Amino acid sequence: MKCSVVHMIITMVSGILLATGFGCSPPTEQDRINIAEALSSPAAAACFEKADAPIIMEFPRDAGSHDTFQTEWWYYTGNLKTTPGRHFGYQLTFFRQALSCEPVKGASKWRTQQLYFAHFAITDTQANAFFSDLRMNRQSIGLAGARGNPYQVWIDDWRAQQIDDHLVLTASGEGITLHLVLSAIKPVLLQGNQGLSRKGREPFNASYYYSLPRLETRGTLEIGPDKHGVTGNSWFDHEWSTRALDADVAGWDWFSVHLDDGRDLMVCQVRGAGGQPNGYAFGSISFPDGRYKILSADAFSVKIRGIWKSPTTDRQYPGQWEIRVPDQDLTLAVTPVIQNQEHTHLFSYWEGAARFTGKGIKGLGYVELTGY
Amino acid sequence: MDILLSHISKTYDDNKNKRVVFRDMTAKFTSGLFCVIIGKSGVGKSSLLNLISGIDIPDKGIIQIGDAGVSDMTDTQRTIFRRKHIGFIYQFFNLIPVLTVLENVTLICELDGLSKKRYLDRANSFLKQVGLFDRRNDYPDTLSGGEQQRVAIVRSLVNDPDILLADEPTGNLDVKTGRAILEMISDLAKKNGKTLIMATHSLEAIDYADAVLSVVNQTLVPLSKEQIHP
Amino acid sequence: MNQHLLIKICFRQSRSHPLRTLLLIIGIAMGVAGVIAIDIAKTSVSKSFDLSTAAITSETTHQVVGSNFNIPQSVFTDLRTRLGIHRSAPVISTHITVMELKNATLTLMGIDPFSEMGLRNLTVRSRSGTTGKDLSGLLTHASGVLLSQAMASQYGLNQNDTITLSFGDRQVQTVISGFLDSRDGATNAIFQGLILADISLAQEILGMGDDITRIDLILTDAAMAEQIVKRLPDGVILVETRRQNRIVRELSRSFETSLTAFSMLALFMGIFLIYNTVSFSITQRRKLNGTLRALGATRKTLFWTVLAEVMIYALVGSASGILLGILLGKGAVHAVCSTVSDMYFVLTVSQTHITVPTLLKGFFAGIFSCFAASVFPAITAARTLPITLMQRSASESALKKYLPLFTLTGMVIIGAAVFMLNFFTRQPGVDFIGVFMIFFGSALLAPMVILLFVRGLLALFKKSWGSMTKMALRNITRSLSRTSVLIASLMVATSVYIGIDIMTSSFRCSVIDWVDSHIGGDIHVSSSDTLKRGLSPRLVADIQALPEVAGISVYNIHRIFSRTSGEVHIFSYITDLSTKKWSWTAADETQLTALLDQGWIFVSEIFAQRNRIEAKMGASVIIDTQTGPVSFRIAGIFRDFFMGGGRVIVNRKLMKQYWGYDDITSLQVFLHTPKTVAPVIERINAFVPESANVKVVSGATIKKGILDVFDKTFLITSALQILTAIVALTGILNSVMALLLERTRELGILRACGAETGQVGRLLLLECGFSGFISGVMALPLGGCLAWVLIDIVNRRSFGWTYDMVTSPKIFLGAVTLSSAAAIVAGIFPAVRAGRTDIGSALHME
């Protein structure tokens, strides 16, 4: 459910390049474009394929990019601990945005329709610190891209790559470096209807969406001069779509958690123009043996229990939640491991590690909040 | 040549003030006579000489020298007329410092384009007469005042003018030298038959003069010797 | 005594000579204006350079460039994906002209907007009304470019208008997709020299295949730089941006220094003028000052009174000089920038940059000159004896007393200057200080020379000259203290004229000689296609077969990158019929071809100079090639007037081996008889297929083109020559008028004695003419010396050119005529006034 981020960036970039040349001035409030605006900005989407019918996903083919759709992302988040138990959260996300569905004209290999960008963040819970960085590039001359076999997504030297049976994530940003090896311990989870995940009124307000809910993770994190050996669990989402959201959508709240009983939960609700949930919500729960169940909008509820105001952007985000999945007898209080996990690069959103606690159950997961 | 001044008026504009020097003044200077014009300084003695010589022109009236109507001439005509017919002697000698005595003397002839032969002999002879022949190649500033004035006298005579005008020729000399110069001028003028008009406030000149005039009330008035030496 | 009262008296005196006061102020103003104009031109070149080049690369610390100005784009992929250097950006950059902008030269810069985000800190603002969808066009198919908002509005261009980019003979139509606009004025100034396009479009327009021009980098540690160097393929070089910019900037430095020297010359003339005027007015006030002294004014009071008065003129003159300088400066900026663009590096932004230090420099130069020029006269004034003790012409006798001292000092100064010029020419500026010293020394010698000269003339023509002529000559020596200054200023002006004249005419001679022998050829055939530079071998054969053709030089020229001089042209000949002038050879000239075949190379003087090649056996130079840096042995250094980083000639094999070219880009066709040039051009054109961009021009056209460039280079020099002349003329006019005043009485006597107005005027003109003539004659050796310095020291160092000094009696004759004529012209006005001398009052002056 991170498509709007992509739109947002694109709008930003287009604005920067076209209207104003190029630049990387620190963003001011004025420069930041509201998510809704970004989503509603009409792209010349007529000739893009749309996610409007169920398909049969094939792997590893479908792990690669689907360039005929406008938007696509590969999303890795996870919670890691050092042997003494020091907690870190990480996020490494690759986005693809098709700038046009028209075929490329011109002989230069720099010509492309595909723009890639990536976010890399580390949360250092003990130090109460959040680090994030950004990469952006066009899919030209091998600078960025995604392919299914062998699986690889990359921008510059940030990459997620299949090596033998493992996934290797590497990224190195401003003061932070990550090198992780991931092994899926559960099979692919097709969200929605066999991977077609509805998100709005129109039939094409949907995406193709699958997850790898639990990936055993080990490797190293570097923050400044310190290097930490870590282990933990990661969540992977891969989603592609063309205009998955309605024009009047403000944003969404997305939650994923690895519960210590082996279950993995994902819930997401879309918020309408007023900022209130507009009824389009979806989720899934996967069981220790890999089986899973799709959750419909009425199978769970999300209640806000606290507010956090960003000192950087002055935006108000929800700061605590209560998630109920009555079917599964789950009532989870959600608390971010630290409050400030706001990305403030070209646009602002909140994405961070959180603790999920219920009666006799707990887990670590990730929360994404956009459109605040 | 007689000099005839009829109904001359001349006014000078000194910035804001108008100074009337002559008003309807008529006078005649007879050829070959020595006239002295006396009067206080600023009364118009020099102006009269300037008018006669054509250096200046009257506002009204006619100046006639011989047959020539000086007051009707152009500047160049007057200049040429002056060069040929009038010799000038000044209080401050007015020799050209960068020319030698001889060159100073012959300058006017040269300006007039006369042949060297003709004026050189004359110049030398005059220089001999005033006793400066030996110093003919010296520069004026090596000469004493009296000597310089003698050179000036020679210069005024060398082109054989009809009229000799002298403006305070002794004014810058001591009494003794002045007297000698005065004697020399009148002597040379007489000897060469020149009309001599001398403006001066030195009464000594009167002794040599044929007539004495004074500028009174913007006009020229003849005086008898008795009037001067009461 | 009350100083205010004294100053009041002084001003009343000056007021009675308003024209002279005005001339004095004009003279100061002109001198100051010259200094300011050149300084503005210089700082503007620096600023324009920064804006054209440095600012674009401001944040970048390093650049990856290719030995032939191209690098494979895979190098960029490698830097990004292997080394993870994300503060890096690919750039394609070339100079193009834009028809719709009155053929202004701009930098077409192809960039990758996404890479720029981590690199260039050009803060720009979004304008409303542009939607995101336009971006996709830029990347996928559109030919949209971005242009400075200011430029666009200046030329009335709107979004979606078509503009035509020209490079070589090619023209490409592009569409304005948007405007570069920033809130920051400096950034907007940078934008003025830019046309921005996506790298893909630039690559297509320029037909660069899979190549880009360079990669800009921000590296924070040396280790990273080392890592990069290790990964770079052969022929690709990592350079430090600042260092590289400095090297390019240095190219025109000496040229600018020489301009400063010329402007100082104008000021130098100004000093003469001021001295002249002030000292005259002091003499004129001798009696007044004497009276004041008798009444009790102290020497100190008089000294300061004179100084105060002059300083007030200095203030007025310098202030007007600043205004005039700014006006002149704007013109000079254009001229200097265009010369720099022609000769050294392209300035796409030409900005008039006026700084406070520049204005202050000019202002204080004016004030200081005035002070220096008036100190001596002020001392003279202070030394005035009370009137009761005064003697006539005291000052003239004083000068005569000091004459031997002046002469001796002058000789010592000239001697020192000659010594300096011979032994200390390494330091920049020394040569011009030497020239100034020679001028100053000569000025001190002037009174003695004038005295001897006049005496000589008088002795020679004693018999045949009339008193008027003698008067004119003797008048010169009589007021020697003033005429010598007048003559000395005119002498300096004339010698500047001679010097520059000899320099330019010698230079032209050498250039013509060079064009004729080195470039030679009756017809030039070259590819005007910047993308496909090779000529077809068939064309060569066809031309060779023409019966009118006696022979062809067949070769190729390519640009290569040089760490020492930015850009070097490299040649290799298949057949070479040109003749070179060698300034040094390693062997007998007949052996040179053999050496070239063995892999030795020829380099041009400029290249040798920039690479500090010593002209001796065993000389070698390291040049970056596609296979990395290679050391080459030098067989000879040839005389060459191409600018930029210089030229290198290698054999065909080396060209292929090290730079990968074995094409033919140019031909020089030699005919049996030059008469057939036009028909042969027609026939060659007939061989060339319509589609091919081949330029066929006559040797005469090429020659004219080259000479035009050089003539333009000397335009600014000539302008300074004129400025110097104006200052000198103002001075002469002032002096002559001053002298006239001094002579009023004398002229009155002459008039009273019967000299006609014309005769008096003629006397004055004669005096001026003689002064001019003397100045002219005295200027001959001085001008020759200046020419020698200009040619042998300045030009060789600043341009790297050596050429033979060509003098002709015509130049000297012309100079003497010119200085006499100038003096006579300056004398006309005073002469007319002299004719109008009021005889009556003149005669009664004491």
Q: What are the pLDDT digits (tens) for C708-746?
A: 877 877 777 777 777 777 777 777 777 777 777 777 777
Asked if the C-beta of C160 comes within 8 angstroms of chain A's C-beta atoms, the answer is no
Which residue did the predictor score with more confidence, C287 or C676?
A: C676
Could you tell me the pLDDT band of residue A350, with boundaries at 50, 70 and 90?
very high
Inspect the interface and report whether the beta carbons of A20 and C133 lie closer than 8 Å. no
Contacts of C1 (CB under 8 A, 6+ apart): C292, C295, C296, C297, C298, C301
Please list the residues that pair with B85 across neighbouring strands.
Answer: none
Q: What element of type H or E holds A78? A: strand A71-81
Q: What average pLDDT is seen over chain A?
A: 85
Is a pLDDT exceeding 50 seen at residue C693? yes
Rounded Cα distance, B1 and C490, in Å: 52
- List, for residues C331-389, the tens digit of each pLDDT value: 888 888 877 777 777 777 777 888 888 888 888 888 888 888 788 778 877 777 666 55
Mean pLDDT of C530-555: 86
**Residue contact A135–C125, C-beta within 8 A:** no
**Which whole number is the average pLDDT over C563-578?**
85
Q: pLDDT digits over B191-210, tens only?
A: 888 888 888 877 777 877 88
The confidence score (pLDDT) of residue A193 equals 92
Looking only at the bridges linking them, the beta strands covering B17-29 and B3-14 are antiparallel
pLDDT tens-place string over residues A203-234: 888 999 999 999 999 999 999 999 999 999 99
Tokens of C757: 């107005």
**For chain B, domain boundaries:** 3-224
Contact B50 C467 (CB under 8 A): no
Tell me the average pLDDT across B211-216.
Answer: 83
Tell if the CB–CB gap between A108 and C203 is shorter than 8 Å. yes
Whether A168 shows a pLDDT value over 90: the answer reads yes
Q: Looking at beta carbons, which residues of chain C come within 8 Å of B86?
A: 754
Q: What is the DSSP letter of A84?
A: T
Whether residue C2 has pLDDT greater than 60: no
Domain boundaries, chain A: 3-43+69-104+111-369
C contact test, residue of A6, A17, A30 with most C CBs within 10 A: A17
Q: Does pLDDT of C170 surpass 70? A: yes
CA pair distance C622, C632, nearest whole angstrom? 6
In this prediction, residue A215 carries a pLDDT of 96
Average pLDDT, chain C: 80
For residue C281, the model assigns a pLDDT of 67
Specify the pLDDT at position A172. 93
Give the tens place of pLDDT for each residue, C606-629: 888 888 888 888 889 999 888 888
Cross-chain Cβ contact C757/B79 below 8 Å? yes
Distance from CA of B4 to the nearest CA of C (A): 21
Q: Is the pLDDT of residue C138 over 60?
A: no
Asked if B83 contacts B160 with a C-beta cutoff of 8 angstroms, the reply is no
State yes or no: pLDDT of A33 exceeds 50: no
- B73 in C contact zone (CB under 8 Å): no
What ipTM does the predicted assembly reach? 0.87
More confident site: C811 or A45: C811
Please give the pLDDT value at position A209. 95
Q: Average pLDDT of B102-120?
A: 78
Pick from C393, C470, C758: which is nearest to B103 by CB?
A: C470
Residue B16: per-residue pLDDT: 66
Q: What is the number of alpha carbons within 13 Å of residue C326 lying toward its C-beta?
A: 12
Which range of A280-289, B76-85, B125-134, C403-412 scores highest in mean pLDDT? It is: A280-289
% residues pLDDT > 70 (chain C): 86
Pairwise CA distance, residues A2 & A133, whole Å: 17
Of C478, C755, C840, the CB nearest to B111: C755
pLDDT at C136: 41
Measured CA to CA, the distance from residue C5 to residue C509 in angstroms comes to 62
Q: How confident is the model at residue A78 (pLDDT cuts 50, 70, 90)?
A: very high
pLDDT in tens, C459-513: 887 777 777 788 888 888 877 877 887 788 788 888 888 888 888 888 888 888 8
pLDDT at C132: 39
Closest-CA distance of chain A to residue C160, Å? 12
**Residue-level pLDDT at B227:** 64
Chains A and C touch (3+ CB pairs under 8 A): yes
| Residue-level pLDDT at C841 | 66
Residue B140 clears pLDDT 80, i.e. is over it: yes
CA C454 to chain centre: 38
* The pLDDT value given to residue B133: 84
Which chain A residues contact residue C141 at CB under 8 A? Answer: 102, 104-106, 111
Dihedral sign computed on CA atoms, order A38, A40, A46, A48: positive
Put simply, the answer to whether A16 touches C137 (Cβ < 8 Å) is no
Q: Is B97 on the interface with C (CB under 8 A)?
A: yes
At B178, give phi and psi (nearest 5°): -60, -45
What are the DSSP calls for A220-262, one per residue? Answer: EEEETTEEEEEEEEEEEEEEEESS-S-TT--EEEEEEEEETTS
Interface contact C755-B79, CB threshold 8 A: yes
Contact between C471 and B79 using a beta-carbon 8 Å cutoff: no
Taking the CA of residue C134 and the nearest CA in chain A, the distance in Å comes to 7
Left, alpha or beta for A208 (phi > 0: left; psi -120 to 50: alpha)? Answer: beta
- Helical axes C356-382 vs C18-49, angle rounded to 10°: 150
**Number of cross-chain residue pairs from A and C with Cβ atoms under 8 Å apart:** 171
- CA B210, CA C700: separation in Å to the nearest integer? 91
Any C CB within 8 A of B112 CB: yes
Q: Which of B82, B110, B155 minimises the CB distance to C468? A: B110
Mean of pLDDT values over A32-50: 49
Give the integer Cα–Cα distance in Å for C424 and C661. Answer: 44
Taking the C-alpha atoms of residue A214 and residue A259, their distance in angstroms, rounded to an integer, is 10
Q: How confident is the model at residue B113 (pLDDT cuts 50, 70, 90)?
A: confident
> CA–CA separation, A89 vs A130, rounded Å?
9
Q: Is A26 helix (H, G, I), strand (E, B) or coil?
A: coil
b/e per residue C523-546 (b: at least 16 CB within 10 A): bbbbbebeeebebbeebbebbeeb
Q: What is the dihedral of CA B166, B171, B177, B178, to 10 degrees?
A: 50
Fold of B3-224: Rossmann fold (3.40.50)
Q: Residue C1's pLDDT is what?
A: 47
B19 inside 8 A of chain C by CB: no
For B57, name the nearest residue in chain C, comparing CA atoms only. C840
Q: What is the pLDDT of residue A289?
A: 94
Tell me, rounded to whole angstroms, the distance of Cα A311 from its chain centroid: 23
Q: Of B123, B175, B124, B122, whose CA–CA distance to B146 is shortest?
A: B175
pLDDT of residue C389: 57
CA dihedral B168, B171, B172, B176 (to 10 degrees): 120
Cβ(A100)–Cβ(C136) under 8 Å? yes
Q: Which residues of A touch C182 (CB under 8 A)?
A: 21
Give the separation between CA C507 and CA A23, rounded to whole angstroms: 49
Per the structure block, which two tokens stand in for A143?
């600078």
Question: Do residues C449 and C246 make contact, with C-beta atoms less than 8 angstroms apart?
Answer: no
Q: How far is B210 from chain C (nearest CA, A)?
A: 26
pLDDT on residue C427: 62
Question: Of B74, B83, B111, B153, which to mutate for an interface test with C (greatest number of C Cβ within 10 Å)?
Answer: B111
The lowest-confidence range among A270-274, C269-273, C830-834 is: C269-273
What is the per-residue pLDDT for A336? Answer: 96
By the 8 A CB rule, do A265 and A259 touch?
yes
What's the pLDDT band for A321 if we cut at 50, 70, 90? very high
**Model pLDDT, residue C762:** 83
Identify which has the larger pLDDT, C348 or A190: A190
Q: Say whether pLDDT at C812 is over 50.
A: yes
Residue indicated by tokens 């592009």: C174
Contact B80 C756 (CB under 8 A): yes
> Mean pLDDT in chain B?
80
**Residue of C567 and A29 predicted with greater confidence:** C567
Q: What is the pLDDT of residue C361?
A: 85
- CATH entry, A3-43+69-104+111-369, from 2.40.370.10, 1.10.10.60, 3.40.50.720, 3.40.50.1950: 2.40.370.10
Q: Do C749 and B94 touch (CB under 8 A)?
A: yes
CB C178 to CB A19 under 8 A? yes
Q: Where are the beta strands (DSSP E) in C263-310?
A: none
Q: Which residues of A touch C128 (CB under 8 A)?
A: 19
Could you tell me what percentage of chain C is helix, strand and coil, using 3-state DSSP and rounding each to the nearest 5?
60, 15, 25
The string of pLDDT tens digits covering residues C770-809 is 888 888 888 888 888 888 877 776 666 666 677 777 878 8
Any residues with CB less than 8 A from the CB of B129 and at least 6 apart, and which? B154, B188
Is the model more confident about C748 or about C218? C218
Residue whose C-alpha is closest to residue B185's, from B173, B198, B176: B198
Domain boundaries, chain C: 1-56+250-390, 69-234, 453-519+706-846, 529-692
Query: What average pLDDT score do residues A241-262 get?
Result: 89
Q: Residue C16: its pLDDT value, please? A: 66
Amino acid C137: pLDDT: 46
Interchain contact, A157 vs C83, CB within 8 Å:
yes
**Most confidently predicted of A181-190, C32-41, C393-402:** A181-190
With beta carbons under 8 A apart, name residues in chain B contacting C759.
111
Q: How far is CA A351 from CA A238, A272, A312, B188, in A?
A: 17, 20, 15, 129
